[in-house]
Amino acid sequence: MNLWFSEYHAPDVRHSLRVTRHLYSSKSDYQQIDIFDTPEFGKVLALDGDVMLTERDEFIYNEMITHIPMSVHPNVQDILVIGAGDGGVVKELTRYESVKRIDLVEMDPQVIEACRTYLPENACKLDDTRVHIYFDNALRFIRRSSEEYDLIIVDSNDPFGPSEGYFTREFYGICYNALRSDGIMVNQQGSPFYKHDAEAMQRSHKRIVNTFPISRVYQAHIPTYAAGYWLFGFASKKYHPINDFDEERWKSLHLSTKYYTTKLHIGSFYLPAYLEKMLMEVES
């Protein structure tokens, strides 16, 4: 069988994966959800036709969005995770014993249901007793919180669909308000390579810079995302991602990782010249 899944990374660029089996396809109240099997990347979750995760490279995204803030903040106890219905982020976070509570806010119950059934390796920690799942609009949920969390992780889809609200000034503002005085917010920040993505990345960076006293961008190589090159935003009320990074403390936890290392932690904040320029344009 010669069945291919294609995703537009830019209007004139497509990324294609050969599909061996379509495991799940359903239209929820919010989006089209698909899970399919591929020879190279294993099982793939796509929302509205955009790849969210693949079994083969999910570790890069999930490690980088969690271990960076967890190794900077000295005492993370209460965490809010937005989106992330596949459970990959939660799986990494539950490895830290210091964590007391993980509130996960996902608007679409069907994503979690589908991932529990078809991506159990990812979703396996959603039943951890520290994890509380809320099916709600994140803006609505966070508005009601004030100085309640040490860490907020925004694991959203791209800013052109139902997740658009998670890239707005008001969203970053209510996240700021929901964090304790030394809290950190980390978000997936898109890709700087293709024009459409780059402009959205600049817009959201500008909004974060206007909201948090410390705002830095770091990078990772993620093969199935646009251009294979992905950014994360590190926004913080107090801790600097490098100056306040305690390498020894994290090493003493003896967590094994496939992508994240303490050296890479620092290196991931060193950005290419064109990207530095794009960020500077909106920082002034």
Please choose, out of 11-19, 90-98, 140-148, 263-271, the segment that lies near other proteins by the rule CB under 8 A.
140-148
Interaction with other proteins in 182-221: which residues (CB under 8 A)? 210
> Looking at 120-128, 138-146, 190-198, 221-229, which segment touches other proteins (CB under 8 A)?
138-146
The residue range among 48-56, 169-177, 247-255, 275-283 that interacts with other proteins, by the rule CB under 8 A, is: 169-177
- β-strand 131-135 against 78-83: which pairing, if any? unpaired
Could you tell me which residues come within 8 angstroms of residue 251 by beta carbon, excluding any fewer than 6 positions away? 262
Exactly one of 59, 171, 193, 230 binds other proteins (CB under 8 A); that residue is 171
Cβ-based nearer residue to other proteins, 162 or 228? 162
Q: Which is nearer to other proteins, 130 or 206 (CB)?
A: 206
The number of beta carbons lying within 10 Å of the beta carbon of residue 206 is 17
Choose the catalytic residue: 155, 158, 197, 246. Answer: 155
Residue 180 binding other proteins, by CB under 8 A: no
Among 56, 116, 130, 143, binds other proteins (CB under 8 A): 143
Please say if 182 is a catalytic residue: no
CA distances 35 to 60, 133, 185, 252, Å, are 20, 22, 29, 38
Catalytic residues: 155
